[in-house]
Amino acid sequence: MVRALLVYDDYNVVTVDWSGGSRALYSQATANTRVVGLEVAHFINWLKDNALLDPKDVHIIGHSLGSHTAGYAGERVSGLGRITGLDPAEPFFQYMPPSVRLDPSDAMFVDVIHTDIDSILNLGTGLDAAQKELVACSHNRAAKLFTDSILSTCPYTAFQCPSYQHPCSPTVYHYRLMLELADPGKVEGSLRGKLKVSFITEDGSIEDFDLTEDGPVNLSRGKMYSFFLYHNKDLSTASEALVQWTYETDMFNPMSYCVLFCDTSLSLSKLVFTSVDYLVAEDVANRTNEVVMCHQQGLGVVRIVSEATVKVVSSPSCLNITTQEVTRHHPVETIIANRHNETMELLNAGFASISSIFSIK
């Protein structure tokens, strides 16, 4: 990790060797974390007073018991920049008050990577290095993931679980839905309203998604929008979809009221539905599991009047649809579609790790 940090940028990296205190019985090692945390805090404060170090430029990274050590240091350094806890130890810390464990108040930004749900006490004693690596594989994985993320150009994809009590289920499928809006009349501007999409599967069932469950959104003509969906059923075979659009006025914006000579319809160019699970599992060169849907007759624009529902279908002709209004220069705006009755929601997440353990600028 130190080498990766130094390759990434010209950081000042300080490692803390407290092996004399960490190799004791776990209960004693736990108590020793407070002492080590005090020493680390004293060192940072000394650099602040004598070397003009700004605490916000300091990033403490700790693994296991070291995560809580970082927390003890952070609560004694005013304005500490960041703490990263790598699979923080559980025994003697779980269900304890914030003053005892690593918590969000210990730094300006605190992030944690959990990779093991088993107790650290089950790792066993009297094992050699190879055996410990095998037994503690998941526990040590957090540090390896963080180290890899420093220089890796391959982003991580993560799925957000609703809570610790409802862990991510392997039977939930994740999808990316992209809607490419057209602007055939070059009207530009935006429309405010609600969107719903229903996918029709091979067995004839219809699965509904409310893309604007949290309320109306503003959609700009000629732009592309991305939604992240999840469902407990495999919808990758769907080749048809129903798109419903409902225009809504904004009571705080008089310009949104449509009286005469205004168009509240939504012009859709095409819909792209992709299994994210497939994208993660397959090689980049073979990512072809995209279903592209467009006008039933292959026209370049599907016009959806307010409160109407239209059908789009998958067809080879959809791949040839291009619009001048939607170009690479338009940003892809992301909207998260929440579904309260499902198990989890998909979020693109990565482990951003571009700073050092102690970085002095």
| pLDDT tens digits, one per residue of 22-71 | 988 999 999 999 999 999 999 999 999 999 999 999 999 999 999 999 99
Residue 149 catalytic? no
pLDDT confidence band for 353 (50 / 70 / 90) = very low
pLDDT at 133 (0 to 100): 54
pTM to 2 decimals? 0.55
Residue 139 catalytic? yes
Taking the chain, what is the end-to-end CA distance rounded to the nearest angstrom?
19
Determine the average pLDDT of the residues in 200-226. Answer: 91
Residue 100 has pLDDT above 50, yes or no: yes
pLDDT confidence band for 249 (50 / 70 / 90) = confident
Contact 183, 221 (CB under 8 A): yes
The DSSP secondary-structure symbol of 358 reads B
pLDDT at 326 (0 to 100): 41
Residue type, 184: P
Could you report the per-residue pLDDT of 287-310, keeping only the tens digit for each? 457 899 999 887 889 999 999 999
pLDDT at 358 (0 to 100): 42
Distance between CA atoms of residues 70 and 34, nearest Å: 9
Residue 64 catalytic? yes
Could you report the per-residue pLDDT of 144-180, keeping only the tens digit for each? 999 999 998 876 766 666 666 665 666 788 888 999 9
Residue 197 has pLDDT above 90, yes or no: yes
Q: Which range, 225-234, 264-273, 336-345, is most confident? A: 264-273
Residue 341 has pLDDT above 50, yes or no: no
Q: Which of 255, 256, 227, 260 is nearest to 241 (CA)?
A: 227
Q: Which two tokens stand for residue 90?
A: 């559980």
Contact 357, 13 (CB under 8 A): yes
Q: What are the residue ranges spanned by the domains of the chain?
A: 2-154, 173-343
Catalytic residue among 64, 269, 315, 356: 64
Catalytic residue among 59, 63, 139, 295: 139
Determine the average pLDDT of the residues in 230-247. Answer: 90
Domains 2-154 and 173-343 equal at CATH topology level = no
Q: What is the CA radius of gyration of the chain?
A: 26
Contact 268, 312 (CB under 8 A): yes
Average pLDDT of the chain is 80
Strands (E), 116-265: 158-160, 173-181, 190-200, 206-210, 217-220, 224-231, 240-247
CATH superfamily of 2-154: Alpha/Beta hydrolase fold, catalytic domain (3.40.50.1820)
Q: Which of 120, 113, 114 is nearest to 135 (CA)?
A: 120
Catalytic residue among 22, 57, 87, 275: 87
Of 120-124, 125-129, 313-317, 344-348, the one with minimum mean pLDDT is: 344-348
Of the chain, the percentage scoring pLDDT greater than 90 comes to: 47
Q: CATH fold of 173-343, please?
A: Lipoxygenase-1 (2.60.60)
